[in-house]
Amino acid sequence: MNILIVEDDKVLSLLLTKMIEKLSLNVLGSVTRADTAISVVKEQNPDLILMDIMLEDAMDGIDAVLELRKIDIHTPVIFITGNSDTYNKSRASATNYIDYLIKPVNFEELKHSIAKVDQKK
C-alpha cells in the first residue's frame, strides 16, 4: 500500500513515516500544504492519504479532500488532527473518510485505521 502523508508538523510526519514503515507499507512522500497534496495525489495516485486538517496554507485538509472529490478522485483518507471539535468532524463527514484520529496518534490506532481501508474494498 502506498501512503501519502499530509502533515505540517515535521516531527509528527517523521513519526507517522516510521509507523507506516513498521507496518511494511510504503510512504510515497510527505507534504505540508493542501495544494501540494492535491498535485501529488493527481500525479502519484496513492492508496491512502493520512491528512492533517490544519495545514500551512489557506486551504485546510478537509477542503483539499473535497477538491479531490470534486474531480472524482476518491482516494481513502484518514484524518489526523489536534482538533476534536464537532464542527471539523461534521465538515469532514462530507469527504466519506475512513477514520478520524485525534493527536497524539499511537501505533495501534494507526494500524487499526489502516486496516479499515482493506475492509472498505
The proportion of the chain whose per-residue pLDDT surpasses 70, expressed as a percent, equals 99
pLDDT at 121 > cutoff 70? no
Condensed to tens digits (0 to 9), the pLDDT of residues 51-99 reads 999 998 889 999 999 999 999 999 999 999 998 889 999 999 999 999 9
pTM for this structure? Answer: 0.96
Alpha-carbon distances of 31 from 10, 46, 48, 54, 70, rounded to whole Å: 9, 13, 14, 13, 21
Residues 86, 90: Cα–Cα separation, whole Å: 6
Task: Sketch the domain layout of the chain as residue ranges.
Answer: 2-120
The CATH H-level superfamily of 2-120 is Response regulator (3.40.50.2300)
